[in-house]
Structure 1
Amino acid sequence: MESPHGAAVAADGLGLEGPRGWAFRDVTFSADPGSLIAVEGPSGSGRTCLLLALTGRMRPTEGEASTGGLALPRRAAAVRRVAALGPVPGVSELDPAFTVAEHLRERALLQRRYDGSLRALLRPPRDRAAAARARIDAALDAAALDPVTLPKAERTAVRDLERPQALRLSVALALMGRPRLLAVDDTDLKLSDAERAEVWELLRSVAAAGTTVLAVCSEAPGDAVTVRTDTPEETPEPAEPARAGSTATTYEEEPADAFAETGRA
């Protein structure tokens, strides 16, 4: 029986075809709630498209899939409510001009606006501020990001962050929504061996705490549920994940996601 928090993820013969051919095809796997799932393959092999399909952001062309027991693509809107995106280029990127504090405050406001109960919205301002701060601190702790270690603490602009720090900030922002599935693209891109090991340790800790993690990478760790998006015979050309007119259909987001995934992640 599925845990009340982490989301089980499964696919059977899943494929997505775009204007330049198949982004990925014949993807079959299953992973329990709280798993660390690594989508492994070279750049251009459809890894990001698979991540977006499994989080309800792209419509697959063939096969079946489910996330958290919700069938895709039929329940895509419900999947988007339980699956949060970490860094995904072109979809959920940090604003380089924003400071760490500005990103955190903005996300806290979004969570309160779209996820809060009526009772929470009617609480005194001081109590709402304390609750938002507690949520921020919990997310930072889960992402192992201590603002004190940054050049200007929470006033540090995103453009001044090292890539591992920016990745941790993106993870913290995603975790503020307490998702059942966290999806992270380009997990090991431009990281040293030591940095890569630290990032995987972070994602293991998130999964160990109960949140299923779906991470795109070029080389999966040995303890992950590994899903490959290419084949030895042929690496398909990628579909274009978010361009108008593509036959690889993207979904419209709910208001919270639309704001969060257009440069304010």
Structure 2
Amino acid sequence: MIIVVAPEHAQLDYAPELALTATDLALDGPWGPVFGPVNLEIRAGGVTILEGSAGSGRTSLLLTLSGRMKASSGSLSVFGRTRPREIFEIAGVAGFEDIDELAESVTVRDLITEQIRWDAPWYKLIGRAGDRELEAVCAPVFGDHPLPALGRYVSDLGELEATLLRIAVANTKKPALLVVDDLEQVRRDSERAYLVERLVEMGSYQTIIASTVNPLPDGSPIDAVALLQEVTNPDQEGAR
């Protein structure tokens, strides 16, 4: 059994409660087990890092925890919600290949405008994003890092900027749960450490789960929990 809790030093604005409980959670694909059985308990608030081999097994586990996939067996409760559609409504995802990838041919302005329009009621007319919208969407995630210029193309962004932008777009509604895949997308240790710092800050008002293959950089302010190889099958094909 794997038991995961928010780090003791996480600064929460509310009393801890169980955000997520998974019991014997498993997913089978056309060619055998994809992940599981997995047993998790994650407290509300803070950041939980799941450390394990990259691949469809780990990714499918994260997508199941966020309501994007349905497990074959076992049970899952996220803030009291048990149906994938209900979990989907209170969970955001970022960093997933083929799910929230940014089109390289669009500008930061286009991306933010599209997300604001997507979030708005259908009858509300939304103009093109300006500096105020850029600040509202990106500042809570970027922190002290300079915000990207509205006219910059996604293809011109560095790894840290692109990842922070993906998280910012996924987090416009501040979902109760935010799941971020593959922190190694930011390859430079110093930049990945800053990414982790930003996730920790965001964990003061929402629950965050992220994944990584390698140990976190020295000095990272959170703990990691290793996933057993047999729990997440990195070689399973057709899982997504």
* Kept in 2: contact 1:108–1:136 (CA 8 A): no
The one-letter amino acid of 1:16's match is: L
**Counterparts of 1:60 and 1:146, CA distance in 2:** 39
Name which of 155, 158, 166 aligns with 2:162: 166
Name which of 105, 110, 115 aligns with 2:113: 105
Superposed CA deviations along residues 224-256 of structure 1, whole A, max 9, x for unmatched, are: 462515249x956325243xxxxxxxxxxxxxx
Normalised by the length of structure 2, the TM-score is: 0.80
The one-letter amino acid of 1:217's match is: T
Secondary structure of 1:56's partner?
coil
* Kept in 2: contact 1:45–1:229 (CA 8 A): no
Structure 1 residues 157 and 130, CA gap change in structure 2 (3 angstroms): closer
Normalised by the length of structure 1, the TM-score is: 0.73
Q: Counterpart in 2 of 1:28?
A: 39
* Kept in 2: contact 1:108–1:132 (CA 8 A): no
Secondary structure of 1:22's partner?
strand
* Shift, 1:220, TM fit: 5.1
**Counterparts of 1:200 and 1:87, CA distance in 2:** 14
The one-letter amino acid of 2:36's match is: R
Superposed CA deviations along residues 158-178 of structure 1, whole A, max 9, x for unmatched, are: 111111110000011011122
Name which of 208, 211, 219 aligns with 1:213: 208
* Kept in 1: contact 2:57–2:239 (CA 8 A): no
Structure 1 residues 99 and 177, CA gap change in structure 2 (3 angstroms): same
Identity rate, percent: 27
Structure 1 residues 78 and 180, CA gap change in structure 2 (3 angstroms): same
Instruction: State the number of aligned residues.
Output: 223
The one-letter amino acid of 1:171's match is: I
The one-letter amino acid of 1:95's match is: A
Q: Counterpart in 1 of 2:225?
A: 226
Name which of 134, 137, 147 aligns with 2:135: 137
Q: Counterpart in 1 of 2:99?
A: 91
**Counterparts of 1:147 and 1:58, CA distance in 2:** 34
Following TM superposition, the consecutive aligned residue runs of length 4 or more in structure 1 with deviations greater than 6 angstroms are 128-133
Secondary structure of 2:183's partner?
coil
* Kept in 2: contact 1:182–1:213 (CA 8 A): yes
Report matched runs for 1:6-45 at 5 Å: 8-44=19-55
Structure 1 residues 52 and 105, CA gap change in structure 2 (3 angstroms): same
Report matched runs for 1:43-54 at 5 Å: 43-44=54-55, 46-54=57-65
Q: Counterpart in 2 of 1:254?
A: none
* Shift, 1:54, TM fit: 0.7
Q: What is the RMSD of the two structures over their aligned residues, measured on CA atoms?
A: 3.1
Structure 1 residues 109 and 187, CA gap change in structure 2 (3 angstroms): same
Return 5+ residue gaps in structure 2 as ranges.
Answer: 1-13
Structure 1 residues 157 and 135, CA gap change in structure 2 (3 angstroms): closer
Secondary structure of 1:30's partner?
strand
* Shift, 1:96, TM fit: 0.9
Structure 1 residues 8 and 78, CA gap change in structure 2 (3 angstroms): same
Structure showing greater relative contact order (alpha-carbon pairs closer than 8 Å, 6 or more residues apart): 1
Secondary structure of 1:90's partner?
coil
* Kept in 1: contact 2:18–2:41 (CA 8 A): no
**Counterparts of 2:27 and 2:134, CA distance in 1:** 36
* Kept in 2: contact 1:46–1:229 (CA 8 A): no
* Kept in 2: contact 1:136–1:176 (CA 8 A): no
Superposed CA deviations along residues 6-26 of structure 1, whole A, max 9, x for unmatched, are: 981121111111122211112
